[in-house]
Amino acid sequence: MLEIRNLTYTAENDGDPFGIIHGIDLTVPDGRFVVITGPNGGGKSTLAKLISGIYRPTSGQILLDGEDITEMSITERARNGIGFAFQQPVRFKGLTVLDLLRIAAGKSLSVSDACQYLSEVGLCAKDYINREVNASLSGGELKRIEIATVLARNVKLAVFDEPEAGIDLWSFQNLIRIFEGMRKSMEHRTILVISHQERILNIADEIIVLADGVVTKQGPREEVLPAISGAKFAEDVCQKLV
């Protein structure tokens, strides 16, 4: 279970304090598929980075399965079972897709196992396994590899920051199938997705709306979705592509 208690995060803007997250309280039980949505600049990605340890909160607490992880480093949180897929995947000169998947798995991963993760994200494994994770890959390819690195880890809390961004040539259905597969493979695994897309909101167990750094709505999809449907930030991916 993920618990967030009175979490605040204040950044600096030209030397002046600039509040981004203002005292959030959240509880996410195990085995839930939760989508955090809301307008741009509302603090969604910041919250995801606070959970994974990339940002340190100004005050408040984060607990995972009852353990206070607020002071834990990124590495410690990763080793405690938190996975994080970046909105903008990182490029590496020299490191191959296989290298990255092996690091993610934390063990000697066979080529066939690595290929399976790539196949799950819709990449033909033999074409990619030895490719460098560098600028020769397109944004969409990098995004799928990013998702594969989270699949290769056996995490209990997977955080995806706008996983649909940049994968417009790949079917949305596949992304949803991945999320479903992740839930099936571990009953108590929690998946936390930052997204604007109604198609992802449609499969959520629970939706959290974050605006101006505070939770404005939280509850089961059946309750929250009708209230936000048609809101500017909740876009239909197909409409966006058109």
Rounded to the nearest angstrom, the gap between the alpha carbon of residue 32 and the centroid of all alpha carbons in its chain is 14
Considering only the stretches 6-14, 15-23, 49-57, 197-205, report the one whose residues sit in contact with other proteins under the rule CB under 8 A: 49-57
Contacts of residue 138, Cβ cutoff 8 Å, sequence gap at least 6: none
**How many angstroms separate the Cα of 180 from the Cα of each of 33, 67, 115, 186, 191?**
9, 27, 19, 10, 10
**One-letter amino acid for residue 64 of the chain:** L
236: left (phi over 0), alpha (psi -120 to 50) or beta: beta
CB of 161 to other proteins, least distance (A): 11
End-to-end CA distance of the chain: 39
Q: What is the largest CA-CA distance in the chain?
A: 52
CB of 111 to other proteins, least distance (A): 17
Report the residue from 7, 28, 34, 104 that binds other proteins according to the rule CB under 8 A. Answer: 104
Report the residue from 37, 45, 46, 52 that binds other proteins according to the rule CB under 8 A. Answer: 52
Cβ distance to other proteins smaller for residue 5 or 153: 153
CB of 43 to other proteins, least distance (A): 19
Give the angle 172-38-71 at the CA atoms, nearest 5°: 100
Cβ distance to other proteins smaller for residue 38 or 57: 57
Site for other proteins, residues 81 to 100, rule: CB under 8 A: 82-84, 86, 89-90, 92-96, 99-100
Cβ distance to other proteins smaller for residue 78 or 121: 78
* Residues 231, 55: Cα–Cα separation, whole Å: 29
Q: Does 149 bind other proteins (CB under 8 A)?
A: yes
* Residues 242, 90: Cα–Cα separation, whole Å: 28
Q: Does 79 bind other proteins (CB under 8 A)?
A: yes
Q: What is the size of the binding site for other proteins (CB under 8 A)? A: 26
CB of 120 to other proteins, least distance (A): 17
Site for other proteins, residues 166 to 185, rule: CB under 8 A: none
| Chain positions contacting other proteins, by CB under 8 A | 52-54, 73-75, 78-79, 82-84, 86, 89-90, 92-96, 99-100, 103-104, 106, 149, 153
